């Protein structure tokens, strides 16, 4: 992640930019935040493409097609402006390294991880091809590894270039030479089978650390893809090797369909069955943790000194990590050595080093940052963190206060919550002003509903906590509720039972507060997003 330079825009569309993620042949990719607090990746094409009317027309069509892609293993297109002076598209941000970065950092991945990646990507391609789309640029750098699975990115831009430039145009490529299918190279019709070929090359890279075709130049690579057999190496064995070989068949009709590939990789349960905690090697989990910390640091430092604190995010309730585990014990804010004894050594060191380095920063709190880093690392050390986070056990009681989980409140007149009814969203901040994710509250005025409010707290799209709340008191413009976990609290969620308030403001927003100390006593300014 790079900080914005003087040449970079500060805002694109409705998104405030926080840093530059990367750059490529088509444009630059920025990290951005929406007014509602969602983290996005904003891709702005290079200005010279904006002068190409054919590019704009195809970009517009492909963005509209890509908006339809909503599979579990893709980054969704959220917004775009193909008519802007510099066309851009915003997609959901994925907190995790690319497959290229992952292999460069830790080397070839274990077979279990390769199969999980392959199953997820195959399911993504099944959804994409079902919409009549072809990705055309499946490669390691377009595969991101999040804690909950792989994501296939870069749909619109990759396709938008096809048809506006030839393979021989100076400085322009319509694919990646080592991963393009033979039919792409020779200019034949391209179908979804081309994506399957590319996926086979990607899985070879993940399993061996090398692509199946290598060469000293693009011309040599293209020749080998068309005329020579792939080199898979001894690390790729058994059924996985047979599957990859089938994907890399020169004849498109001989390649398996993505749905068949997904089934053979994961079985009838699907890719999600392979994505258990620990599916990624420990060093990559640490990498995601560091990336999350970097993201929060960027956001805070990007705010001008006189900028008001962002609307609240979430009271570390059911979805926030519990700071005390790192704040109150051990030198420099870190937990004593014994507390980390049950965590894998590498992950433990990462969590501790993050705690120490962040605790020594001047001028800002580190509660949430430590919490996020610890909670992300907890994905592979669940047993360790379950002992620290209240409300994650099966007792149904708040581990800190010993109170029973909130029960459903009595029936109430529908008019009590009439002014609050609807869906409300906003950005959460702790009492010290530290950003702490986003929250979405659904408030119902149905007097028969057992709970008046259901809330989801989200940190970086990685940690999600869910709560329910029963009404304890109400006036025309203010309601107070007892909020508790809805029973799905996991690592990273405090699980506390706490008092929360929603207060209507004259401008139509709602001010939210929580007394959950483990969550940082968060606050938020919520806007209505639906009824």
pLDDT at 2 over 80: yes
User: Please, are residues 416 and 445 in contact by the beta-carbon 8 Å criterion?
Assistant: yes
Q: What is the mean pLDDT of residues 259-273?
A: 89
Domain co-membership, 190 together with 236: yes
Looking at residue 248, what is its pLDDT? 98
User: Is residue 136 domain-shared with residue 159, that is, in the same domain?
Assistant: yes
Query: In the block, which residue shows the tokens 């959220």?
Result: 78
Same domain, 143 and 89: yes
Give the pLDDT score at 289: 78
The residue among 79 and 334 whose pLDDT is bigger is 79
Same domain, 216 and 241: yes
pLDDT in tens, 378-391: 433 332 222 222 22
Split into its structural domains, the chain has a count of 3
Spatial separation of the C-alpha atoms in residues 189 and 182, rounded to whole Å? 11
Whole domain around residue 343: which residue ranges?
Answer: 282-310+322-386
Name the residue with tokens 């930019």.
17
Q: 10 Å Cβ neighbour count for 193?
A: 22
Give the residue from 212, 246, 274 where a domain finishes.
Answer: 274
Higher pLDDT, 505 or 1: 505
Sheet harboring 88-92: ordered strands across?
11-12, 15-23, 27-33, 39-45, 88-92, 77-81
The answer to whether residues 66 and 201 belong to one domain is yes
188 annotated ligand binder: no
Average pLDDT over residues 373-400: 33
Poorest-pLDDT segment among 292-296, 325-329, 352-356, 510-514? 325-329
Would you say residue 191 lies in a domain?
A: yes
Average pLDDT score over residue span 467-495: 82
Average pLDDT over residues 496-516: 92
pTM, whole model, 2 decimals?
0.59
| Average pLDDT value over all residues in the chain | 75
- Among 171-185, 267-281, 338-352, the least confident range: 338-352
Q: Tell me, yes or no, whether 154 and 103 share the same domain.
A: yes
Q: Is residue 6 part of a domain?
A: no
Catalytic residue among 79, 137, 148, 516: 137
Q: What is the CATH number of the domain that holds 455?
A: 2.40.128
The answer to whether residues 215 and 291 belong to one domain is: no
Please check whether residues 127 and 231 belong to one and the same domain: yes
Whole-number pLDDT of residue 531:
64
Of the residues 340, 371, 386, which one is the last residue of a structural domain? 386
Instruction: Assess whether 189 carries a catalytic annotation.
Output: no
Q: CA dihedral in degrees (164, 167, 173, 179; nearest 10)?
A: 130
If pLDDT is split at 50, 70 and 90, which confidence band does 325 have? very low
Residue 358 lies in a domain: yes
Q: Are residue 148 and residue 59 in the same domain, yes or no? A: yes
Per-residue confidence (pLDDT) for residue 215, from 0 to 100: 87
Q: What is the pLDDT of residues 162-200, one digit of tens each?
A: 444 333 333 334 567 889 999 999 988 899 999 999 999
Give the list of residues 6+ apart from residue 28 with CB closer than 8 angstroms, or none.
8, 20, 22, 43, 44, 46
Q: What mean pLDDT do residues 493-503 have?
A: 88
Looking at the structure, do residues 251 and 132 belong to the same domain, yes or no?
A: yes
Report yes or no on 198 lying in a domain.
yes
Q: Is the same domain home to 247 and 360?
A: no
Taking a C-beta distance cutoff of 8 angstroms, is the pair 441, 512 a contact?
Answer: yes
- Would you state the pLDDT for residue 66? 78
Considering only CA atoms, which of 424, 450, 426 is closest in space to residue 437?
426
Return d(Cα 413, Cα 417) in angstroms, integer. 8
Judge whether 321 and 490 are in contact, CB under 8 Å. no
Who wins on pLDDT, 410 or 259?
Answer: 259
Average pLDDT over residues 437-458: 88
- Encode pLDDT of 93-142 as tens digits: 888 899 999 999 999 999 999 999 999 999 999 988 988 888 888 999 99
Rounded-to-integer distance, Cα 354 and Cα 528, Å = 36
Note the pLDDT of residue 407. 41
CATH classification of the domain holding 233: 1.10.510.10
In a domain, 171, yes or no: yes
Q: Are 257 and 379 found together in one domain?
A: no
With a cut of 90, say whether residue 520 has pLDDT above it. no
pLDDT for the residue numbered 301: 57
Confidence of residue 394 (pLDDT cuts 50, 70, 90): very low
- The answer to whether residue 424 is domain-embedded is yes
């Amino acid at each position: 992640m790079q900080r914005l330079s003087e040449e970079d825009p500060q805002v694109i569309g409705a998104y405030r930019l926080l840093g530059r993620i990367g750059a490529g042949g088509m444009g630059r990719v920025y990290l951005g935040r929406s007014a509602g607090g969602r983290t996005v990746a904003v891709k702005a094409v290079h200005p010279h493409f904006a002068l190409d009317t054919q590019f704009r027309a195809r970009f517009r069509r492909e963005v509209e097609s890509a908006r339809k892609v909503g599979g579990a293993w893709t980054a969704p297109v959220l917004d775009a402006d193909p008519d802007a002076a510099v066309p851009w598209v915003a997609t959901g941000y994925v907190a995790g390294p690319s497959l290229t970065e992952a292999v460069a950092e830790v080397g070839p991945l274990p077979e279990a991880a390769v199969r999980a990646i392959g199953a997820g990507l195959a399911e993504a391609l099944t959804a994409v091809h079902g919409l009549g789309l072809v990705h055309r640029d499946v490669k390691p750098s377009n595969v991101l590894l999040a804690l909950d699975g792989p994501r296939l990115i870069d749909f619109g831009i990759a396709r938008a270039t096809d048809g506006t430039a030839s393979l021989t145009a100076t400085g322009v490529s319509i694919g990646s030479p080592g991963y393009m299918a033979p039919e792409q190279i020779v200019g034949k019709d391209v179908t979804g089978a081309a994506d399957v070929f590319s996926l086979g090359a990607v899985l070879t890279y993940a399993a061996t650390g090398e692509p199946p075709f290598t060469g000293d130049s693009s011309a040599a690579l293209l020749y080998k893809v068309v005329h020579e057999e792939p080199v898979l190496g001894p690390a790729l064995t058994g059924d996985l090797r047979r599957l990859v070989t089938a994907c890399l068949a020169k004849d498109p009709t001989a390649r398996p369909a993505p749905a068949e590939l997904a089934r053979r990789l994961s079985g009838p349960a699907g890719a999600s069955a392979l994505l258990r905690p620990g599916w990624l090697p420990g060093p990559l989990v640490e990498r995601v943790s560091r990336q999350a910390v970097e993201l929060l640091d960027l956001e805070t430092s990007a705010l001008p000194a006189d900028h008001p604190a962002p609307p609240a995010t979430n009271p570390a309730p059911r979805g926030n990590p519990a700071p005390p585990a790192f704040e109150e014990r051990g030198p420099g804010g870190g937990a004593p050595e014994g507390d980390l004894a049950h965590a894998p050594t590498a992950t433990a060191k990462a969590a501790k080093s993050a705690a120490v380095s962040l605790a020594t920063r001047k001028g800002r709190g580190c509660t949430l940052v430590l919490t996020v880093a610890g909670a992300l690392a907890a994905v592979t050390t669940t047993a360790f963190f379950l002992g620290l986070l209240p409300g994650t056990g099966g007792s149904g009681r708040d581990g800190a206060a010993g109170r029973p989980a909130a029960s459903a409140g009595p029936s109430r007149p529908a008019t009590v919550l009439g002014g609050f009814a609807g869906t409300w969203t906003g950005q959460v901040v702790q009492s010290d002003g530290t950003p702490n994710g986003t929250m979405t509250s659904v408030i119902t005025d149905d007097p028969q509903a057992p709970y008046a409010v259901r809330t989801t707290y989200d940190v970086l799209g990685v940690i999600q906590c869910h709560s329910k709340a029963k009404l304890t008191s109400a006036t025309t413009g203010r309601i107070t509720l007892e909020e508790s976990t809805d029973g799905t609290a996991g690592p990273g969620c405090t699980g506390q039972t706490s008092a929360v308030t929603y207060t209507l403001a004259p401008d139509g927003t709602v001010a939210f507060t929580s007394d959950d100390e483990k969550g940082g006593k968060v606050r938020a300014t919520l806007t209505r997003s639906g009824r």
